[in-house]
Structure 1
Amino acid sequence: MTDGISSPARGADRILTVPNLLSFLRLLGVPLFLYLLLVVQSDGWALVVLAVSAITDWADGKLARLLDQYSRLGELLDPAADRLYILAALVGFVVRGFIPWWVAVLIIGRDVLLAATLPVLKRHGYTALPVHYLGKAATFCLLYGLPFLLLGQSTKQYTLGQVCLPIAYAFIAWGTVMYLWAGAIYLRQVVWIVRTCPLAPKYRPAA
């Protein structure tokens, strides 16, 4: 389990990298997506923003490896952008009536629970834990299932929509299950850290 907690250090403090630029652009697209989805209800353009986010999610990780541009900032920005897009899409889709509210509660509640563990990790010298591969697979399913759902809902009177909706529901169902499973693994790692790792120096009781 300790292998999943360590991180490469080379070039870790870099900021101006291509992957980080893509992540910043993805973050800027979140309010635009919500505006298009909820205010003007331009589903076509909202779909474009969501699809571009899914593509750049794959691209920034790929470029980080190809260009050797790993950074700690990128390690934080990438999952943050993923979660914001998922959160924005879930809230928007519940408001529009595309998905039931309890699906959003399960996914968002999982993130709220994990966020509550950050102070515990900090007391043991960790700022966060790396994303588990199962969490990455879950995020992949959700980031691809949500655009399919938007496309299916906006064209459900046509054959395209009838094809897209089952695909979307399958992606979202698998993504939700894996998202919760990855959350359970994360919590298990937190418990392991609390039991085996000493407190950070500033949190240790005075002698």
Structure 2
Amino acid sequence: MSSRVLTLPNILSALRLLGVPVFLWAIVTERDGLALVLLAGSGITDYLDGKIARHYGLVTRVGQLLDPVADRLYIVSTLLGLAWREIIPWWLVAVLFAREAFMAVVVLVAKRHGWLGLPVHFAGKAATFNLLYAFPLLLLADGDGTWARIAEPVGWAFAWWGTGLYWLAGILYAVQLRRLLAARTAVVA
């Protein structure tokens, strides 16, 4: 893992972070075209930053911190914006925020035992992918016409899969942490 800061994957993650307030403004003020472009761009750059980092050996500690922060901020801002506009129900926001609270506890326990983070699971990446593609489709479904009618069931399918995978990934992280703690205890004993 590199200690470099200025890499293409890190720049892509930083651009995603800079786009969060613009996206939130666009969704709340119903500038849906801009919100869709920013959200789609976020999904594309989320995929590219990881792919480029792994393929070209540009994995950095900064990137490991920036990428999930950008993901979480887009998910939080999108959830709040879509719920504010009554495109998604507030209970879905609560279910996804509950998973974030659960993960906060897992991360705190990991840090208390000296681990700065846990390796990323495919389920977590798949959950983020599903959620980042569900949201623009649900936003598109808020309109009228053929595209809105097509986008709605596809968007909800991504949302349900993403929510399920989001919780599955959280449980996998907790199981992984439990195994690490058990292995540490076995070595000490």
TM-score by length of 1: 0.85
CA contact (8 A) 1:20 1:77 kept: yes
How far apart, CA to CA, are the structure 2 residues paired with 1:177 and 1:123? 28
How far did residue 195 of structure 1 move?
Answer: 2.8
Q: Which of 8, 12, 16 pairs up with 2:6?
A: 16
Q: Does 1:130 align with 2:119?
A: yes
* Partner amino acid, structure 2, of 1:147: P
After superposition, give the CA deviation of every residue in 1:139-182 in whole Å (9 maximum; x if it has no partner). Answer: 111111111111111x2x20110001111000001110111111
Q: Mapping of 1:1-207 within 5 angstroms?
A: 9=1, 11=2, 13-38=3-28, 40-153=29-142, 155=143, 157-197=144-184
Residues 51, 147 of structure 1: 8 Å contact kept: yes
Percent of aligned positions that are identical? 47
Within 1, Cα distance between the matches of 2:174 and 2:135?
26
Q: Is the 8 A contact 2:13 2:49 kept in 1?
A: yes
Aligned residues: CA RMSD: 1.3
Q: TM-score, normalised by structure 2?
A: 0.93
Larger helix proportion of the pair: 2
Quote the Cα distance in structure 1 between the aligned partners of 2:56 and 2:182. 38
Question: Unaligned 5+ residue runs, structure 1?
Answer: 1-8, 199-207
Q: CA deviation at 1:18?
A: 0.4
Number of paired residues? 185
> Would you identify which runs of 4 or more consecutive aligned residues in structure 1 move more than 4 Å?
none
Are the aligned partners of 2:83 and 2:90 in contact in 1 as well (CA < 8 Å)?
yes
> Max radius of gyration: which structure?
1
